[in-house]
């Protein structure tokens, strides 16, 4: 629509200038009228060629790099000769102005100067030939120069607007990618919570059912007690699942209190001695750090019940100046070989991703995890900084 309006205005202006130059106020100088007619006709042909190229983008793409600037130069020269001939045709300087401004907006500085200079030169030659005064020889070139200045400023503003639009589009794209990354992180966090809670609860339940099956044909009463305990574990698992869902929405208890509850529940459930100690001065940890260490303790305890049933377990939480360390130790069964206990990289209570999930949790929080056999014990050690680096430097 703006392009159509521009060409409509140029066409009406061309027609009006023709009426003004040849009917209302024709030039009075000798030979001025033929020069003005020739300039007017050449101006019209150049405008027509420019309009055709502007209407057909393929032609502009193929020839526009040199043809359109040449056409603007022809318009400037033709209108420059015609306007300096005098009479009403002096108003044709408007097309020299338009050519200079269009070149300033769309063409390089060299091409814009060439178009402007050719138009001014045509004005000066024609003005001197027809004996025009200083008003024509100085005033009309000043109008043309103002067209060049306006065009260059307009072009600069357009470039800035295009750059701003590109930056805005890039920013929106980055924001969309950030939102997608945040969504994926949240999904991964929820997936870890679901796995850790269900693996802990269902793993313990599976161990209890397996023990009940092993004594079912020997002692029905004991098997019944074990199945009753399994039912109780299932109920506790539901409670723990609800707690996990609530923890996704709210903060957990302090880590030392959460670990005390976990170790006490484990001792009652598996009838094994579980010691729990703390060192250092307890301090509040970020919620994600508390939850990560809590889940690691739960995973390590269930692994101990599965791979070292009946063996004592020791849990220790140490608060240091810069980090916090969780250590879970369980004795290995007598005669256990070097490969006793779960492999430190992949083995879990369900053959899934327990220890892999531990590594992932700690890596996201700039922590470390070690798990392995040493001195007849299986030892899991997790360390986390008290504050993450980006928080410390803020």
Q: Residue 349 above 50 pLDDT?
A: no
> Strand 313-319 relative to strand 274-279: parallel, antiparallel, unpaired?
parallel
Mean of the per-residue pLDDT values for the chain?
Answer: 82
**Which of 34-48, 54-68, 186-200 holds the top average pLDDT?**
34-48
Q: In this structure, how many other beta carbons lie within 10 angstroms of the beta carbon of residue 17?
A: 23
Given a contact cutoff of 8 angstroms between Cβ atoms, the answer to whether 84 and 140 are in contact is yes
pLDDT (0 to 100) of residue 191: 67
Q: Residue 89 above 50 pLDDT?
A: yes
Take residue 80 and report the two structure tokens written for it. 């420059």
pLDDT (0 to 100) of residue 116: 95
| Distance between CA atoms of residues 260 and 216, nearest Å | 33
Beta-ladder partners of 377: 331, 374
User: Mapping DSSP to helix (H, G, I), strand (E, B) and coil, where does residue 160 land?
Assistant: helix
Per-residue pLDDT, averaged over 217-231, amounts to: 74
Given a contact cutoff of 8 angstroms between Cβ atoms, the answer to whether 152 and 106 are in contact is no
Higher pLDDT, 56 or 259: 259
Least confident segment among 97-106, 203-212, 290-299, 331-340: 331-340
pLDDT (0 to 100) of residue 97: 95
| Distance between CA atoms of residues 87 and 128, nearest Å | 15
294 closest CA partner among 266, 322, 335, 331: 266
Residue with the two structure tokens 């794209």: 173
Residue with the two structure tokens 């994926």: 184
**% of the chain exceeding 70 in pLDDT:** 81
Given a contact cutoff of 8 angstroms between Cβ atoms, the answer to whether 90 and 135 are in contact is no
Beta-ladder partners of 369: 382
Per-residue pLDDT, averaged over 343-362, amounts to: 54
| Per-residue pLDDT reduced to its tens digit, 274-321 | 999 999 888 888 877 888 888 888 888 888 888 888 889 999 999 988
pLDDT (0 to 100) of residue 198: 66
> Strand 377-385 relative to strand 323-331: parallel, antiparallel, unpaired?
antiparallel
Take residue 137 and report the two structure tokens written for it. 């020889």
Is the Cα torsion angle 64, 69, 74, 79 positive or negative in sign? positive
| Per-residue pLDDT reduced to its tens digit, 90-108 | 999 999 999 999 999 988 9
Per-residue pLDDT, averaged over 184-208, amounts to: 68
| Distance between CA atoms of residues 67 and 50, nearest Å | 9
Given a contact cutoff of 8 angstroms between Cβ atoms, the answer to whether 367 and 359 are in contact is no
Per-residue pLDDT, averaged over 247-268, amounts to: 77
| Distance between CA atoms of residues 36 and 80, nearest Å | 10
Tell me whether residue 282 is exposed, middle or buried, using C-beta atoms within 10 angstroms of its C-beta: 0 to 12, 13 to 18, 19 or more: middle
Count, in order, helices (H) and strands (E) of the chain.
12, 5
């Amino acid at each position: 629509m703006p392009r159509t309006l521009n060409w409509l205005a140029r066409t009406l202006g061309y027609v009006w200038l023709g009426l003004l130059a040849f009917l209302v106020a024709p030039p009075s100088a000798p030979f001025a009228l033929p020069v003005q007619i020739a300039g007017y006709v050449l101006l019209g042909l150049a405008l027509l060629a420019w309009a055709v190229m502007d209407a057909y983008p393929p032609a502009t793409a193929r020839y526009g790099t040199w043809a359109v600037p040449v056409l603007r130069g022809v318009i400037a020269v033709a209108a420059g000769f015609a306007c300096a001939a005098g009479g009403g045709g002096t108003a044709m300087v408007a097309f020299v102005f338009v050519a200079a401004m269009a070149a300033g907006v769309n063409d390089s500085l060299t091409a814009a100067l060439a178009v402007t200079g050719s138009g001014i030169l045509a004005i000066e030659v024609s003005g001197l030939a027809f004996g025009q005064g200083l008003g024509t020889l100085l005033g009309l070139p000043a109008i043309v120069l103002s067209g060049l200045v306006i065009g260059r400023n307009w072009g600069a503003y357009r470039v800035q607007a295009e750059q701003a639009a590109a930056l805005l589009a890039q920013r929106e794209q980055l924001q969309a990618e950030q939102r997608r990354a945040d969504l994926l992180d949240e999904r991964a966090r929820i997936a870890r919570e679901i796995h850790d809670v269900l693996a802990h609860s269902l793993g313990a339940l599976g161990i209890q059912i397996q023990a009940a099956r092993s004594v079912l044909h020997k002692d029905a009463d004991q098997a019944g007690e074990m199945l009753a305990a399994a039912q109780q574990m299932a109920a506790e698992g539901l409670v723990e699942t609800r707690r996990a869902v609530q923890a996704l929405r709210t903060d957990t208890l302090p880590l030392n209190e959460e670990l005390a509850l976990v170790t006490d529940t484990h001792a009652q459930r598996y009838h094994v001695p579980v010691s729990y100690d703390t060192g250092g001065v307890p301090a509040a940890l970020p919620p994600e750090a508390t939850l990560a260490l809590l889940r690691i303790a739960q995973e390590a305890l269930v692994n101990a019940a599965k791979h070292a049933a009946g063996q004592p377990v020791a849990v220790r939480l140490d608060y240091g100046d810069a980090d916090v360390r969780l250590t879970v130790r369980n004795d290995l069964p007598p005669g256990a070989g070097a490969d006793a206990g779960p492999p430190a990289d992949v083995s879990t209570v369900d053959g899934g991703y327990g220890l892999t999930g531990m590594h992932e949790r700690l890596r996201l929080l700039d922590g470390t995890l070690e798990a392995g056999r040493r001195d007849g014990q299986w030892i899991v050690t997790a360390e986390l900084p008290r504050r993450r680096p980006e928080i410390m430097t803020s």
